[in-house]
Amino acid sequence: MTAPLRIGILGLGTVGASVFQALHLHGTAIAKRSGRTMRVTAVSARDRKRDRGIDVSGVEWFDNPVALASSDHVDCVVELIGGADGTAKEAVEAALSSGKHVITANKALLAKHGSALVALAERHQVALNFEAAVAGGIPIVKTLRESLAGNQVTRVSGILNGTCNYILSRMELEGLTFDACLADAQRLGYAEADPTFDVGGFDTAHKLSILASLAFGTAIDADAVYVEGIASITPLDLVMADELGYRIKLLGVAERTATGIEQRVHPTMVPKGWAIAQVMGVTNAVNVAADPVGELTLVGPGAGGNATASSVLSDCVDIARGIVLPPLGMAASALAVLDRAPMQRHEGGYYIRLAARDRPGAAAGIATRMAEQSISLESIVQKRPPASRAADPTGKSGEPVPVVLITYATTEEAIRKALDAMIADGHIAEPPQLIRIERG
């Protein structure tokens, strides 16, 4: 009879407690599906006395996570500590080096040290599973690594951060400012006290770098990701997007281009008719374009204890079944060095909002600078706020006027040169707003 799979959990926060509880409540059913009993035999967390709603009295407690990772009493280590370095890294390295399988939800660790950890796992012939590290309960890692292994992926994109999607959804639906929505997200627990990692786009960038590796067979390279956050988005931008038939989402996009693999994270205008445009609140979504399957879109909870625990448990079942696959879909030695596509070469449509100075020659100067870079304009909209129109019905106050330009396909380099020239000319009163448009 097969011995039980002995699991050690590092970190008993929301996710760790959910994993522990699920194995306790559903262990018999999970064992029937996996063909092997699973048992939590050890745990490690900061505070032994904290009430987590679970009974850990029957398992071995380790104050030192690295000691648990090296213990002979566990076969599989579930790392839920978080952080790119320090204890999480030391514990994962110790577990792999001692021949133990590892399951982690730590996207920051993988984004920074993934290639080295993958090689270490392969050297010791153990699993390094990380379904929970990207998009919470959405099985995108297995989809790319296993279900689409016979396909040639050309593009993977998605909403990978629930905090940003929640804020943008509230701003659009209720006309609130970014600051107001962020404060509410923090009150509800959707955003951290220091939200920079989420709203700055860095969380999405870490996840995207992992997806790009799985999709294109390249080593993880988080430094290659171009990153913009959502703090500059205003209610006016969302109103304009709506009028133009778009929604604004923070997207992570990785795709093959003629100049290499492009990885970028930024606010994006997506057509309202697209499935991903319908994803609101804290929900995540990932779209994959591949040959021969075509396009797939996976939608589901991107965070939270139960959603993330679901992915951890899926990885546990694979290990219980004896399934040990190359973590990134192929041997570490076969992973290619990422051929980075510079962001300046990106091609697409652009939404540009300018605070144009209301003076003779300004409009002509703006048009000239766009023409110099061979940028064709699809539309030009002058959008004076209602309060401004009421206070100055003649429009001759000299106050800056919002002007929105929508371009046809052009390059990032051309747009940047045109905007730099406008700033130098003094035609605009504040930094321009630039949002890329996805048109399919």
Q: Tell me which residue has tokens 């920079």.
A: 196
Q: Where are the alpha helices (DSSP H) in 149-261?
A: 162-174, 178-187, 196-199, 202-216, 235-243
Residue 437: left (phi > 0), alpha (psi -120 to 50), or beta? Answer: beta
- Give the span between the Cα atoms of 290 and 156, in whole angstroms: 9
Contacts of 440 (CB under 8 A, 6+ apart): 271, 274
- Give the span between the Cα atoms of 143 and 211, in whole angstroms: 10
Instruction: Work out the number of other CB atoms within 10 angstroms of the CB of residue 141.
Output: 24
Residues 126, 99 contacting (CB under 8 angstroms): yes
Residues 220, 209 contacting (CB under 8 angstroms): yes
* Catalytic-role residue among 89, 142, 207, 249: 207
- Give the span between the Cα atoms of 88 and 105, in whole angstroms: 11
Q: Identify the H or E element spanning 67.
A: helix 65-70
- Give the span between the Cα atoms of 370 and 380, in whole angstroms: 12
DSSP letter assigned to residue 342:
P
- Give the span between the Cα atoms of 250 and 273, in whole angstroms: 17
- Give the span between the Cα atoms of 100 and 353, in whole angstroms: 54
- Give the span between the Cα atoms of 315 and 131, in whole angstroms: 7
Strands 260-271 and 433-437: parallel
DSSP per-residue letters across 235-299:
HHHHHHHHHTTEEEEEEEEEEEETTEEEEEEEEEEEETTSGGGG--TTEEEEEEEEETTEEEEEE
Residue type, 120: L
Q: For this structure, is 207 an active site residue?
A: yes
Catalytic residue positions, numbered: 207
